[in-house]
Structure 1
Amino acid sequence: MASTSEFTGRHMLLVTGAFFGVVIGVNALMAVSASRTWTGLVVDNSYVASQEFQVKADAAHRQDAAGWTMDIAYRDGRLIVRIAEDGEPLDLQEVQAFVRRPVGGHDDITVPLSPGPSGYEGAVTLASGVWDITVTTAPTALGAIERETRITVR
């Protein structure tokens, strides 16, 4: 004779408990992982950041309209930034690059750039991987330059 087992309230309680146990466990794991890898802080004051964003965006539009271009390269331990107007290098003041990993904040460094044969250059050792580079300058006639580019170092 074949035995039949029926699905009881106890079985339902175990299935429901297992389901919520998995959901809560995965959420806890993700929360711990997120808190260990990123602080979550993007800006100190979002209102001030929004005002600064518009000023920077307007300056970037004026610079683009004037034909300004920027190329970034990393070779032999040197960060090279070429900023030009219609192909001619621009004479800029206080050029620097803020170099950081896209996530983390543990390898951040500011590199002062000085005029060199290929553009504005600065010595920095970058490990292989992805880097975000924000180049800034002192104010120009069309506003300060602040451009961000992502590079991959092999």
Structure 2
Amino acid sequence: MTTDTKKLFTFTGWHMLAIMLAFFGTIITVNFTMAYLATSSWSGLVVKNTYVASQQFNGKTAAIREMLATGIAGDLTVDAKGMRYRLTLPGNTPVVADAVTAHFKRPVGIAQDFELQLTPAGDGLYLAEMDVLAGSWIVEMQATKDGKMIMHEAKRVTVSGE
């Protein structure tokens, strides 16, 4: 009695080649996609020249210590219509500055970054009216008086889309 049995499937080298190409092709495609998204969505730039920034570090640290010793404090409020910034000394004494600037930066990307000059409204209050897009922002505040930086701080804020 003889029975002819047909082999249903034979795993060959071509099958192994297809599996290897599919496996490594998927990995390579994902890596290139992730690399493209990473480089297109964030500049990666923190400072333009790291060597120069490292040389200026001690001077900037001393200036910040001097500024903190004054006790000056800033209170920032940002909404979709604009911003309010109040500068005070301990005891709620208002601070008068010659110029107050706000640098709005997105945490990721530089395409929507902008700068505002605030106008004094008296009693240490500074205002700016501008449509601010919804989302997360890092707002870097700088106030100067007589050409000297009296306040420099950065705060992360979230503007609602309402």
Percent identity over paired residues: 32
Q: Which amino acid aligns with 1:137?
A: A
User: Which one has a bigger Cα radius of gyration?
Assistant: 2
| Structure with a larger share of its residues in strand | 2
Q: Which amino acid aligns with 1:73?
A: T
Change (3 A) 1:73 1:52: farther
Q: Contact between 1:62 and 1:142, CA under 8 Å: does it hold in 2?
A: no
Tell me which of 16, 22, 30 is aligned to 1:26: 30
Tell me which of 85, 88, 93 is aligned to 1:88: 93
Does residue 48 (structure 1) correspond to residue 45 (structure 2)? The answer is no
Change (3 A) 1:61 1:9: farther
- CA positional deviation for 1:76: 6.6
C-alpha RMSD over aligned residues: 2.9
Determine the structure 2 residue equivalent to 1:153: 159
Between stretches 31-40 and 8-17, larger displacement belongs to: 8-17
- Structure 1 residue runs of 5 or longer lacking an equivalent are none
Normalized against structure 2, the TM-score is what?
Answer: 0.76
Count of matched residue positions in the alignment of Structure 1 and Structure 2: 154
Q: Contact between 2:98 and 2:143, CA under 8 Å: does it hold in 1?
A: yes
Q: Contact between 2:82 and 2:132, CA under 8 Å: does it hold in 1?
A: no
Change (3 A) 1:120 1:56: farther
Determine the structure 1 residue equivalent to 2:140: 134
Q: Which amino acid aligns with 2:135?
A: G
Determine the structure 2 residue equivalent to 1:121: 127
